[in-house]
Amino acid sequence: MKKTVLVSGGAGFIGSHVTVELIEAGYDVVIADNFSNCDLTNYNGACAITGRKLPLVEMDFCDPEAVEKLFSDYKIDAVIHFAAFKAVGESVWEPLKYYRNNVESFINLLETAERHGGCNVLFSSSATVYGEPEELPVTEKSPRQPATSPYGNTKQICEDMLRDTVKAKPVIKGIALRYFNPIGAHPSALIGELPRGVPNNLVPFITQTAIGKRECLSIFGNDYPTEDGTCLRDYIDVVDLAKAHVYAVRRMLEGKMKEDYEIFNVGTGRPVSVLELVKTFEKVNGVKLNWKYAPRRAGDVTAIWADPTIANKELGWKAERTVEETLAAAWAWEKRVAEM
């Protein structure tokens, strides 16, 4: 029988890509989203790619009655929880907004899942939990550092809540996927990243500058102790990232977990500097980007990239797309957005 996966925040950037990969892998999906930080574009795109009218519930995970109704209406075999606020800077100015939304929603989800007899829960975590790492690349065993923002803290708190709940309640199993820097878009250019206002992240800022929406890209800092002076990151293609979720869900549903709570790094293992990324974007897409060096951005770490060995071995997953392919997809998506 087909298994059903609930995707909270399924109308967002990563959630919509995961939805598509789940459907292609033969799962049924229920999308739940409150549209607080997205519109219907990616939902409609996911429906177009999969050729289905995907079940969509408009609801807020901070509303326990709505979560209860969701679990009563559908037989849910696994949940992937994306629904959360994600702007690091805003979380510093509005910490309680972040704690309430990101933590309370996950409490409601875990409580309800337990009441309904248990569930496999996949939490979308972040490499931000590693802070400024002492050793590179980071493994799952690398120590977590105290969070430097309320956003980062919500990721640590939710990881801990899942770990502790799994320990106390045998009917709940959990996986936390720690994402490095997700970028790119679906090759169909029907779904992608749609930041509201001025983008915080590098690649949306690059594509918006290339299309003429922004005047100039600032590269934050060229005095870091790296080869070209700019920061190093592990940019992971969003479709590759989405596939990692399918492998993780399958591992849970097929009872292949080695422990009831597991953590996997989801990255390529390949560090790329900001400058390299900018130059690669220009080269693969044949566009000239207006950019300048600017002072460092507060809170940025010098370098972080993943050791993805455990995900490669245990999940049987590996990042496949090249940075070139990914940046071409990001550009195709931006051009499509311009036509909308």
Instruction: Kindly list the catalytic residues.
Output: 151
231 binds ligand UDP (CB under 6 A): yes
* Whether 123 contacts 109, CB under 8 Å: no
194 binds ligand UDP (CB under 6 A): no
Of 160-168, 169-177, 201-209, 329-337, which segment contacts ligand UDP by CB under 6 A? 201-209
CB of 233 to ligand UDP, least distance (A): 5
Site for ligand UDP in 280-309 (CB under 6 A): 297, 300
Query: Residue 252 — φ and ψ, nearest 5°?
Result: -70, -50
Cβ-based nearer residue to ligand UDP, 55 or 229 = 229
Helices 105-115 and 150-168, packing angle to 10 deg: 10
> Binding string to ligand UDP for residues 152 to 191, with x set by CB under 6 A, is what?
-----------------------------x----------
226 binds ligand UDP (CB under 6 A): no
Site for ligand UDP in 82-141 (CB under 6 A): none
* Whether 169 contacts 306, CB under 8 Å: no
The residue nearest ligand UDP at its CB is 231
* Whether 120 contacts 173, CB under 8 Å: yes
Site for ligand UDP in 206-225 (CB under 6 A): 217-220
Among 202, 241, 246, 337, binds ligand UDP (CB under 6 A): 202
Burial class, 325, CB count within 10 angstroms (exposed 0-12 / middle 13-18 / buried 19+): middle
201 binds ligand UDP (CB under 6 A): yes
Cβ-based nearer residue to ligand UDP, 46 or 129 = 129
The single-letter DSSP state of residue 138 is B
Question: What torsion do the CA atoms of 45, 272, 302, 220 make, to the nearest 10 degrees?
Answer: -70
Cα-based distances in Å from 68 to 9, 123, 174, 197, 285: 17, 19, 20, 34, 47
* Whether 202 contacts 289, CB under 8 Å: no
Contact residues: ligand UDP, CB under 6 A: 181, 200-202, 205, 217-220, 231, 233, 274, 297, 300
